[in-house]
Structure 1
Amino acid sequence: MATTGNLLSVLGVILSLSLAGDVAGVRQKSALFPFGDSYYDVGNKKYVSTQFVPSTTWPYGKSTDRPNGRYSDGHIVPDFLATFLNHPIPIPPALQPDADVSSGAGFAVGDATVLGTPPETLTLSQQVELFEKQRSKWTKDFIEEAIFFFQIGTNDYMNFSKNNPNPNASAQQGFVTLVANTIKTQLIRLYTLGARKFAYQTLGPLGCFPIVKQERQLQGDDCYEPLNEIAKQHNEKIRPMLKALALNYTGFQYTVFDFYGAISRRLVHGPTQMFNSYRFSNTIRSCCGIGSNNAFGCGYINVHSNLCGYPREYLFFDGQHNTQKANEEIAHLFNSGNKDIVGPMTVRELSVYPKGMNMLEF
């Protein structure tokens, strides 16, 4: 770790670089490599699936008039972060034949997990393996300057909950530890492949997703708390894990975004409010789908889904994925939010943090 005596000088470098970019009206370009599941999938799912992929057709992409494999009515978090970092958009899927990946590529795939061998997707380890196969497309310096984004684990825990409706504490803790340790192994593997800057989005409150509420037949603001608890247990391991990696691996830099907290705050309505303080009028039902919470069927052939008229009023577009408006808010927080939601630094600060320099304890 850097000494205390270096603190002011390093912070001064970061501040001057950041301000210089703002004064010039141009942000420094940072290559992006998103890894994970459907929250970060920029269109890979259709290249690994033999089945119909709903995110490739209307009403996905409704707000941009262009269904493009993203699980939302429009842009997802990596798209907005790319814009903030002056990165060429859209980010191309790594599996797209002949894609221009000169500025990075997305490796996340819908339905991805950390553990197991699920069909028609890529696990985190398989995504890292794909990056290794494609690594020669980028220079060493390019990879070291790039930011590697992660959001994964939702499917692992939702599957675990379905298969183990009443797990004892030991079994649950053991599963969380296994997932976290597997993620750690893959982050180290990426480090050995040249990655140095890591941006991690934690899990959301899984038990409050419309798909879970509908499956559990929960009413109103009620959430399935066992799933929320296991998500919290997982999230509590992430920042200490990354801090340990920064202590033990030269030049390892990271930031963690509290996705759980961001979504939880947007779920809360006042007793007399039609909208919550974030201007979402509906945080219980999805904008698109069927059933008590509109949680199933969005985009599926031969299913007459309900579709809201104004997605910006909804927190969720389908049973578990956010609307474009929610994704934009989340990306803003990830990029430049307060320390209570993202830290030890923001994505914006990470993008200008001197390459090769060890993390400071803020």
Structure 2
Amino acid sequence: MAKKAAKGLILVCLQLLLCFSQTNCIRTKGKGGSDDKIKGMFVFGSSLVDNGNNNYLENSTGKAEFLPYGIAFPKGPSGRFTNGKNVIDLLGEMLKLPCLIPPFSDPSTKGSKVVHGVNFASGASGILDDTGFLAGQVISLNQHIRNFETVTLPQVKKQLRVKRRETRKAMKKYMFIVGTGGNDYLFNYFARKGEYNVSLETFTANLTTSLSLQLKRLYRLGARKFVLISIYPLGCSPMLNAMRKNGCIEVMNEAAVLFNNELKSIIDRAKSDMPTSNLVLINSYNIVTDIIQNFYSRGFKDANNPCCEVVPLTQLAGNGISCKKGGRICMDRSAHVFFDGLHPTEKVSVEIATKAFTSKRKTEVYPINVNQLARL
């Protein structure tokens, strides 16, 4: 009996050692899946959900692998555009996944490390292939999906020993999280200063049509449980403080609302377009707007300025968004809504993830929450 107990203890220790020894496998509070319903997550999108893919791009200014980014993250700067964990990390913990999701671009993300999911997101990228041109090299959403299809999916099936006809059944245990769209406005439509000879409404319709086709492509590859993250209130970000006189820039918030309404329409059409799928919309626009408008009563002290010292607009490759490498940082990170010129602090991400997982309000999650989706 004692020998069996000792043997069991050794196996547990070896499993823990293996998890800690993997570069990006930082232990969470989970034990291996939400009641065995969810095995992992595949993540697609921009910097709000990127966890280090841009670290491996040589010609990109959209990076966050240096302090003060990651100042509160378990292993320091990782490529996450915030002070600690982002919303993907937090949702993974709530779903009881055993480790944080590894970035696709990390050469070590292969074999058994893909079993609980992979993050394909890239800071400054968008739905459109040319979004992100201001940041140099980025990985577009179309490329995220190609990477999933040609590299990761075959590895997952091999690790799970899944036969071709069983792919869809296996994919039902994974959530496909898509958080993108904001950069298509900030660093494409508005950045081109009138090069687009179409109205905001037409651009939005074309943009969401492209996204709908991309979601259907994932559906054909086996995706069944989708989580779509809406665009934040773009016009209220600190990067636009110089342009903001009273309140937020409404035309940019209008763009976000137009896009988010189309996301809801995609979900409403899903039963006919993707009949065996289930989609959830996390309305981060409403969640973040509520925090900004009621920041003091919500435990924040500053909803307008970044916590970190950002690279000024006048500097080469600077855009007023990214933290300055080794720059100054606010004393109380939990008092700020925004960490840099565009991205929220971990405290805000905690609120978004918590509401996404537990809220019953359709103005925050639609039509059900992430926890309910996990149990379908």
The residue that corresponds to 1:345 in the other structure is 368
Matched positions, count: 319
How far did 1:198 drift?
0.3
Q: Write the letter of the residue equivalent to 1:346.
A: N
Task: Find 2:90's aligned residue among 80, 83, 88.
Answer: 80
CA distance in 1, matches of 2:126, 2:269: 23
Q: Taking structure 1 as reference, are residues 205 and 53 closer, same or farther at Cα in structure 2, changes over 3 Å only?
A: closer
Q: Is the 8 A contact 1:289 1:297 kept in 2?
A: no
2:3 corresponds to: none
1:315 is aligned to 337
2:77 corresponds to 1:67: yes
Counterpart of 1:334? Answer: 356
Structure 1 stretch 126-135 or stretch 240-249: which is displaced more?
Answer: 240-249
In structure 1, give the amino acid aligned to 2:126.
T
Cα distance in structure 1, aligned partners of 2:372 and 2:269 = 20
Contact 1:246 1:254 in 2 (8 A): no
1:114 paired residue number: 127
How many Å apart are 1:226 and its aligned residue? 0.7
2:103 is matched with which residue? 93
Q: 1:286 aligns with which of 298, 306, 309?
A: 306
Q: CA deviation at 1:166?
A: 11
Matched, 1:238 2:263: yes
Residue by residue over 1:320-354, the C-alpha shift from the partner in whole angstroms, topping out at 9 and shown as x without a partner, is 1010111011000111112231021111011110x
Aligned partner of residue 304 in structure 2, secondary structure: coil
| Distance in 2 (alpha carbons) for counterparts of 1:52 and 1:161 | 19
Which of residues 212, 216, 241 in structure 2 aligns to 1:184? Answer: 212
> For residues 237 and 145 of structure 1, what CA distance do their matches in structure 2 show?
27
Shift of 1:239: 1.1
When the two chains are superposed, the root-mean-square deviation of aligned CA atoms in Å is 2.5
Deviates more, 1:112-121 or 1:226-235: 112-121
User: CA, structure 1 residues 240+276, in 2 after alignment: closer, same or farther (shift >3 Å)?
Assistant: same
Give the deviation of 1:181 after TM superposition.
0.5
Residue number in structure 2 paired with 1:105: 118
Looking at structure 2, the residues matched to 296 and 171 of structure 1 have their Cα atoms a distance apart, in angstroms, of 27
SS at 1:315 equivalent: strand
CA contact 1:39–1:321 (8 Å) conserved in 2: yes
Distance (whole Å) between structure 2 residues aligned to residue 84 and residue 297 of structure 1: 29
The range that moved more, 124-133 or 46-55, is 46-55
Q: 1:126 aligns with which of 116, 136, 143?
A: 143
Higher relative contact order (CA 8 A, sep 6+): 1
Which runs of 5 or more structure 2 residues have no equivalent in the other structure?
Answer: 1-30, 158-166, 314-318
Q: Secondary structure at the match of 1:289?
A: coil
Residues 51 and 300 (structure 1 numbering): CA distance in 2 closer, same or farther, change over 3 Å? farther
Answer yes or no: is the 8 Å Cα contact 1:33–1:147 preserved in 2: yes
Fraction of identical pairs, as percent: 26
Instruction: Give the secondary-structure state (helix, strand or coil) at the position aligned to 2:276.
Output: coil
Distance 2:324 2:304 in 1: 21
Amino acid at match of 1:110: G
- Residue of 320, 337, 362 corresponding to 1:296: 320
How many Å separate the matches in 1 of 2:311 and 2:120?
32
The structure-2 alpha-carbon separation of the partners of 1:291 and 1:249, relative to structure 1 and needing over 3 Å to count, comes to: closer
2:260 matches 1:260: no
CA distance in 1 between partners of 2:48 and 2:271 (Å): 26
Secondary structure of 1:162's partner? coil
Query: Shift of the alpha carbon at 1:292?
Result: 9.6
Structure 1 residue 133, shift from structure 2 partner: 0.9
Q: 1:202 & 1:44 partners in 2: Cα distance?
A: 21
Q: 1:315 to 1:344 in 2, by over 3 A?
A: same
The answer as to whether partners of 1:57 and 1:299 remain within 8 angstroms in 2 is no
> Structure 1: how far apart are the matches of 2:259 and 2:192?
18
SS of the aligned residue for 1:288 comes to: coil
Residue 291 of structure 1 and its aligned partner are, at CA, apart by 8.1
1:200 has 2:228 as partner: yes
Deviations 1:264-323 (CA, angstroms, capped at 9, x unpaired): 111114xxxxx5221111000010124899x8364444xx73310111011100001010
Shift of the alpha carbon at 1:205? Answer: 0.7
Partner of 1:28: 35
Gaps of 5+ in 1: 1-23, 270-274, 354-362
In the other structure, the counterpart of 1:4 is: none
